[in-house]
Each structure stands twice: as structure tokens, then as C-alpha cells.
């Protein structure tokens, strides 16, 4: 039985309760001036990977796109 349910035991997909119901839009005001987009990429073998992409916006709500500024990439692998 442990082998059959090992992914649910290790990764506990429903802990904390209701965590899978949260959306990035729920936190948009707290994240200002970073605006987040929620994307899904499907791999060649059919696995869906969720991506959150953030862009800094100035006071006029336009994307700050300066190629001289360094880009920051954070990769979070849950579990």
C-alpha cells in the first residue's frame, strides 16, 4: 500500500487544506509593483508544469524593460 500511495504520502498535495484553491490574483495587491502571470507548459511526455512570471511595473503600469538591468530567475521545485 505504501508504494501505491507514496506520492500522496511524500508530497501531500492537499496540505495545508485549500492550498490548491489559491490563485496568484489573490495576492496581486501585496506584490505591487510586481505583476505576476500564471502559465502552464506541457512537456513532451504530457506533464503540466506551472510557471509564475513576474514583471516589475512603474507607476504608470507599464512594464519596466531595460536591457541593461540584470534579470533574476528563481526556480522553485516543490517537494
Please state whether 61 falls in left (phi above 0), alpha (psi between -120 and 50) or beta. Answer: left
Question: For 35, phi and psi rounded to 5 degrees?
Answer: -105, 130
pTM of the model: 0.50
How much is the pLDDT for 66?
Answer: 60
How much is the pLDDT for 17?
Answer: 72
How much is the pLDDT for 32?
Answer: 81
Counting as low any pLDDT under 70, the low residues of the chain are 1-2, 12-16, 18-20, 59-69, 78-79
Amino acid at each position: 500500500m505504501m508504494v501505491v500511495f507514496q506520492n500522496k504520502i511524500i508530497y501531500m498535495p492537499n496540505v495545508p487544506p485549500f492550498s490548491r484553491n489559491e490563485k496568484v490574483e489573490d495576492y496581486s495587491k501585496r506584490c505591487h509593483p510586481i505583476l505576476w502571470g500564471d502559465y502552464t507548459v506541457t512537456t513532451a511526455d504530457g506533464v503540466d508544469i506551472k510557471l509564475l512570471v513576474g514583471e516589475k511595473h512603474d507607476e504608470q503600469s507599464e512594464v519596466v524593460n531595460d536591457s541593461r538591468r540584470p534579470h533574476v530567475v528563481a526556480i522553485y521545485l516543490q517537494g
